[in-house]
Amino acid sequence: MATKAKPDLTSIAPAHGVRHAAIIMDGNGRWAKKRLLPRVAGHRAGVEAVRRVARAAQELGLECLTLYAFSSENWKRPASEVSDLMGLLRHFIQSDIDEFHANGVRLRVIGNYRALDPALVEMIDGAMARTAGNSGPIVAIALNYGAQDEMVRAVRELAARAANGDVAAQDIGVADIDAALYTADLPPLDLMIRTSGEQRLSNFLLWQAAYAELYFTDMLWPDFDGRALAQALDAFRLRDRRFGGL
């Protein structure tokens, strides 16, 4: 029986120059609707896409892949959908952490995840601690994350330091704000991808995206794969990044 050849991703996107890519994984619901399936089936298929894309990110040499899994605004969804998403996340962390660890991946969670169910928080902390010493790429999952919340937290932290006399208010600069964000120890964001044809940032990494290249695709998240990631990296390679210069 003929076996399907695995695409050689490194030949699709050579020397792309992306250290850190982030993805707004949109379109799970529409993917399910097109198939007359319940929304949760779209989220399940979305988890499969997360697995494929995390593997591909490593093959393609990314240092960091940040995925928007649950926003601080997603609590507005019906309780049953929130519960389905939390269940999928719990299952994902439980079932995939061995593979991440074996591949040298470092799992990170960004966002106010400490406000989630204590059992899930414990599982996340355990998974992060277990993989923290690895030397491979970082897969950062944004959970209960909102960029405006993140900036409010950073401002409060810096205001408290200023009130304590640890820093003078007029000395606070970009690097201090960078250091007070969840992403403090992640590489600078190069590329922001959003699937499903929507063209907005939806409160994701707003500070970090200051000079990121934006890439939008009509593909629904459950259809996204390593080849689609490689295409995004190829598109990035052709961009002219000037960072405000000439």
Question: Would you give the binding string for ligand FPP spanning residues 111-140, x where CB under 6 A is met?
Answer: ------------------------------
Tell me how far the alpha carbon of residue 53 is from its chain's centroid: 11
> For residue 192, which of 71, 64, 72, 105 has the smallest C-alpha distance?
64
Q: In this chain, which residue has its C-beta nearest to ligand FPP?
A: 29
The answer to whether residue 144 forms part of the interface with ligand FPP (CB under 6 A) is no
In angstroms, give the least distance from the CB of 165 to ligand FPP: 41
Query: Which of residues 30 and 161 has its CB atom nearest to ligand FPP in the complex?
Result: 30
The DSSP output letter for 210 is G
> What is the CB neighbour count within 10 angstroms for residue 11?
8
In the chain the first and final C-alpha atoms are separated, in Å, by 56
Residues composing the chain:
246
Q: Would you say 110 and 185 are in contact if contact means Cβ atoms under 8 Å apart?
A: no
31-60: which residues touch ligand FPP (CB under 6 A)?
43, 46-47, 50
Contact region with ligand FPP (CB under 6 A), list: 66-74, 116-124, 180-188, 231-239 = 66-74
Query: Which of residues 7 and 38 has its CB atom nearest to ligand FPP in the complex?
Result: 38
In angstroms, give the least distance from the CB of 100 to ligand FPP: 12
Q: Which residues contact 18 (CB under 8 A, 6 or more apart)?
A: 62, 190, 191, 233, 236
Q: Would you say 147 and 177 are in contact if contact means Cβ atoms under 8 Å apart?
A: no
Q: What is the distance between the alpha carbons of residues 78 and 5, in angstroms, rounded to a whole number? A: 41
Does the annotation count 166 as an active-site position? no
**Residue type at 228?**
A
Does the annotation count 26 as an active-site position? yes
175-204: which residues touch ligand FPP (CB under 6 A)?
196
Contact region with ligand FPP (CB under 6 A), list: 10-18, 22-30, 124-132, 204-212 = 22-30
Q: Which residues are catalytic?
A: 26, 74
The contact set with ligand FPP (CB under 6 A) reads 25-30, 43, 46-47, 50, 67, 69, 74, 85, 88-89, 92, 141, 196, 221
